[in-house]
Structures are given as structure tokens and as C-alpha cells.
A = this chain, B = another copy of it.
Amino acid sequence: MTFSADARCVALSGGVGGAKLALGLADVIADPGRLTVVANTGDDFEHLGLRVCPDLDTLTYTLAGIANEETGWGRAGESGAFMAALGALGGETWFFLGDRDLALHVERTRRLRAGESLSAVTSALCARLGVPARIVPMSDDPVPTVVETEEGPLAFQHYFVRERCRPRVTGFRHEGAERARPCAAFLDALAAPDLGAVVVCPSNPYISIDPILALPGVRAALAACRAPVIAVSPIVGGRAVKGPTAKMMAELGTAPGAAAIARHYSGLIDGFVLDTADRAEADAIAAGGVAVEVTNTIMSARADKQALARAVLAFARRISASAQSSSTA
């Protein structure tokens, strides 16, 4: 099928980089209610007795237009009175929670304890904040990412925030993934007859996308869905735009580059988008049997996000059209 103006789109996303493209998609899709953003919840953890969902929250704040664009996480115009007072009481301050941001964690935790599912709470809070797209946690079940390092296994946020990604990575575990169920809204969106594109956002493949792919049935649902699956490289010029992706690749023995990302998603994707800076890698990737699109993937301004979103959706339409013509032929 071709990607029509009212086709649905599913985006798989981690935090910052993924949220930028998700915002671009929400901007350019005529009815943003037809955009389902599936958030990695492998980073989620209990902190100070509160359920904190960093990627879900970054997506929520970004799509609600209240994100802190300088830090890439948290809310704009945030204050730290709570955190300063907590420090004075001897509490744990290694993970910053702003005063406004805290309200989300407190309210979510309260509702989860009252028996609501994470997806129901997310849906209600997104509605309150005026998020135009649907944000869906990958699962209502906990699937905490454990980072295997040369210093032993570390809970994700301990590796990421407390240790600032310092320990050398040897692998990853997605605990409980085999028993977890993908959210119904996620699978429903993949099964929609008018699905036009599945976008694997430019997020860290190991810690943002693999947790989603580790859920039972997700790879099969992606293979079975009617739309092309397109990944956008989070690596530009051999470096991660943000975060430890390149460092992790190097530690795992893979030269950081767009081609290595495409290989990581081999068998899963129909198309791959890489930055103009990595144009030289396009042929090698295409040789792997994947359609390739070269464009600017650095999303600084809002217009960059929208332009990349348009490019990805147009790419999806071309792949669909080509598949249709070849099946007709």
C-alpha cells in the first residue's frame, strides 16, 4: 500500500534523539492521533520510592512542548528546590528530579499503586498535558535493562547516571523480557490495515530499541506488518549524536558507524536512513538488501525534525510503492 496522508505511523523510540524525530513526525502527520510512539521502558526504575520512566517522560514532555531542549531531558523552566532539600536531609541526589518533573513521578506512582496499568496512566497523563500523539510504553510489565560490564552487572541507571557510562560494557540483559507482554496498543498499531510506516528512531540500538525488540511477538509483528520498517541511524560520522552508543559499539568490538547500525537491524528493517556525512557507507548498506536514504539527520531546529520526519515518511512511501509494483509485476 502507499503511505497516504491519513496512514498510521508507529515509531519505536528511546529518549532524547528518538523524541526529536517523534516530535517531527507529530508535526508533519496531518492527524497526530494516528502516530503511535512506542517508548522503551528498559530504563525505568524505582527511585526514592517513585516509579521513574526516563524515556517515556522525555517523549511525553517533548510531545507536550514542555521539554527542556538544552538538557534533552526534564522540563523547561525547571527548579531544584526539592533536590536541594533532599540533599540536606542526606537523601540520594545522584539522579536529578526537578520540582515539576517530580509531580509526574508522584502521580504515576500513586496511580500504579492504585492498580492502574502503566499504559493507562501514561495515556491519562498525556491527555492532561495535551500530547497530540499516542505514547505507549512497550510493555506494562517491568523489563529492566541490566548492563553487563567488566566490573559486573549494573542496573541501567546506575551504569548510565551514577557511573556516567564509565565501566566497559560486555553485554546487556533485558530482565523478564521473555515473560513480558507488549502493550496491546503497540501490537494493535502494528496490525492496523492502514499502517504506513514503522520508524525505528535514531536511538541507542542496545539500550533503547533492543528492549522493545526483546518482547515476545514484536519481531514477528514487525515482519508481518503491512508497512516498511525504517531505521534512522543514531551514528553520524562515527559518533553518537548523543549518549554512549559509539562507546558501547567500540567496547563490544564493532567499529561505530552507520553500516554497523544497519547490520544490527539486519532482517528487521526494509529501509535505512543515514546522514549525508556517512554517504560513503550507503552502498555497503544497500548491498545488504536494504533500501537506503541519505539525508540530513541532525535535528537541531524544529524544522530539522520536521524535514527528517518528512524524508522518512516519503522514503516509506517509495519503499511501499516499489514493493507494490514488484508484486504487481
Contact = CB atoms under 8 A, between A and B. Distances in A.
A98 to B, nearest CB: 8
A89 B103 contact: yes
A102 B102 contact: yes
Interface string A14-31: 000000000000000000
Contacts of A90: 107, 124-125, 128
Number of copies: 2
Contacts of A48: 106-107, 110
A314 interface: no
Interface string A79-99: 101111110111100000011
Interface string A121-157: 0001100110000000000000000000000000000
Contact of A79 (B81, B89, B113): B81
Interface residues of A, number: 32
B100 A82 contact: yes
A282 B48 CA distance: 53
Interface string A172-206: 00000000000000000000000000000000000
Contacts of A102: 82, 85, 102
A145 to B, nearest CB: 23
Interface of A: 48-50, 75, 78-79, 81-86, 88-91, 98-104, 106-107, 109-110, 113, 124-125, 128-129
Given A81-B98, A91-B106, 10 more contacts: A78-B81, A79-B79, A79-B99, A82-B82, A82-B102, A85-B99, A86-B107, A88-B129, A89-B103, A90-B128
13 contacts: A49-B106, A49-B109, A49-B113, A50-B106, A79-B99, A81-B98, A82-B103, A85-B102, A86-B106, A89-B103, A90-B124, A91-B110, A102-B102
